[in-house]
A and B are shown apart, each in its own frame.
Chain A
Amino acid sequence: MDQKALVCIGCPLGCRLEVTLENSEVLRVTGQSCRKGKTYAIKECTNPTRILTTTVEVENGFLEVASIKTEKDIPKDKLFDCIKELKKVRLTAPIHIGDIVVANIADTGVNIIATTNCEALDT
């Protein structure tokens, strides 16, 4: 059996949760003041995910770098794999919000999309 400490992010109360795990299955959650805490603990212990936001370099654009994000949340342990792949990416302006800049990043099945517009320097 494993014990894991978490802080619930469901509301500003920030309850300190104690999770009891066996073979990565959640047996018990204590410390929450409402039901949301348990749901959060189970998600965080079995399948934690995050949205990744970062920037990539741009060529021939009015911006040096363009901001991007994963279209959906991705497994938390894939964040640095994505960052590593994105370090190799160079975009060419023009870029528009919502453009897919990398498909299926780090085999997550999730696309990377642009979150800014960037005009080209010469067209």
Chain B
Amino acid sequence: MQEYDLVVIGGGPAGLAAAVAAKEQGIENILILEREAKLGGILNQCIHNGFGLHVFKEELTGPEYAYRFINMIEDKFIRYKTETMVIDLSKDKLITAVNKTDGIFTIQAKAVILAMGCRERPRGALNIPGARCSGIFTAGTAQKFVNIEGMMPGKSIVILGSGDIGLIMARRMTLEGAHVKAVVELMPYSAGLTRNIVQCLDDYDIPLKLNHTVTNIVGKDRLEGVYIAPVDENRNPIPNEEEYIPCDTLLLSVGLLPENELSKKATVKLSPLTGGAEVDEGRETNVDGIFACGNVLHVHDLVDHVTEESYIAGNAAARYLKGLQKQSKKIEVKAKDGARYVVPKFISPENIETDLELSFRVRDIYKDHYVSVYFDETRVAHQKKKILTPGEMQTVKVTAEMLNAHTHCNEISIQVEKE
């Protein structure tokens, strides 16, 4: 059995940044395990630009952003194994993995960082009736076909869901010569960034059908077309208003789910709100010495935020390994009213030396509302926001002074308020 101080599971941007941070804090014995042939995670297939404005102050494409971190891993002599799939993790941090050269092997780690990313919601999670024909893919799978394998999944396309990946793929397939007939969105607003609506749909005259859904799928072996219909206030399709769109491909861009099969095996407690682990300010889970960061923790829209969060987890894992983490009272952080969830879920004031950022998402679109932070009943922060949308992760700062002034506080909460 091999032994390591720190094992990072997943070599996407989260895993790479966490490993870099831990190494910079003096942890020498680190191993990254990645199931794909290449480090970099999902970024390798995201060839569009728009990554890195916060972290590198320039606009990079996904692969360029990934290589910045792969180079750091090489320069710091951090060890990694690719084409290596982790198949089991125990709460005592015993890892079982498999690859072609070593077969099945086990590693004992003193600390583990979970960085497995997320996967896309498949058709099964949606319950669309109709034929089980070929020609239906998730947008991310199509992205991999086109950008990595150089193959087009189809010629005439309908996209269900207006998340950023769907929007990016609408443009990508158009540039490659396909006809994208419509992007169909159940909600009255898109989950994607305005910039993507304008530059991926409007630029190419691709219609965005808000308040619509796919009601039926037609085809024998291969998809031949889909029926779409408008929905009422309860999101139910309105009968007799169906429209038929012939197409050979349907792409699904209907949300991402954190990939937490391994976390469950290690008895990591998951939040029903995020689908990821419940963590403290250092991104440590309920299991001693197991940390989580990136999309496995909660779905991020910007890779820059993934990187920043992963530095926090890497630093905290290093402190844990050096025995510097204090066991102290934890204050619970809650999302209330307009706030849907907040990360981290717990804060130990004694482990906090500088200001702390809380990440949260809102439930709905709010214009001219305030984001407030409460320590029990006392409001300590109150910030006006021109707009808050569910598609955009928000952050709010909790300072060391606030924590010092409320040491006996039982609960911190984030709220979206009218005034």
Q: Spell out A's residues near B (CB within 8 Å).
A: 6-9, 11-14, 33, 50-55, 57, 63-65, 67, 69, 76, 79-80, 83, 97, 115-117
Contact = CB atoms under 8 A, between A and B. Distances in A.
Given A50-B203, A115-B47, A65 B147 contact: yes
A27 to B, nearest CB: 22
A67 B193 contact: no
Contacts of A12: 193-194, 387, 389, 391-392
B382 interface: no
Interface stretch (B61-69, B102-110, B279-287): B61-69
Nearest to B67: A97
Contact of B49 (A7, A51, A97, A116): A51
A50 B63 contact: no
A55 B386 contact: no
24 contacts: A7-B197, A7-B198, A8-B194, A11-B194, A12-B391, A12-B392, A14-B197, A50-B199, A51-B49, A51-B59, A53-B49, A54-B172, A55-B147, A63-B148, A64-B149, A65-B147, A67-B63, A69-B49, A79-B175, A80-B175, A83-B175, A115-B64, A116-B44, A117-B67
Interface of B: 44, 47-49, 59-61, 63-64, 67, 146-150, 172, 175-176, 193-195, 197-199, 202-203, 367, 386-387, 389, 391-392
Best-buried of A8, A54, A67, A83 by chain B (most CB within 10 Å): A67
A9 B199 contact: yes
A13 B386 contact: yes
Nearest to A116: B63
Given A64-B149, A97-B67, A54 B61 contact: no
A83 B146 CA distance: 15
Given A9-B199, A13-B386, 4 more contacts: A12-B389, A69-B49, A115-B61, A116-B47
Contacts of A6: 198
Which 9 residue pairs of A and B lie closest in terms of their CB atoms, listed nearest first? A65-B150, A67-B47, A14-B194, A116-B63, A9-B195, A64-B150, A115-B61, A13-B387, A53-B48
Nearest to A87: B177
Contact of B61 (A14, A53, A76): A53
B47 A55 contact: yes
A74 B149 CA distance: 27
Contacts of B195: 9
B378 to A, nearest CB: 30
Contacts of A80: 175
A76 B135 CA distance: 31
A101 B370 CA distance: 50
B148 A65 contact: yes
Contacts of B67: 97, 116-117
B143 to A, nearest CB: 11
Contact of A9 (B49, B146, B147, B198): B198
A78 B147 CA distance: 22
Contacts of B392: 12
Contacts of A76: 203
A97 B49 CA distance: 14
A92 to B, nearest CB: 15
Contacts of A63: 148
A83 B61 CA distance: 18
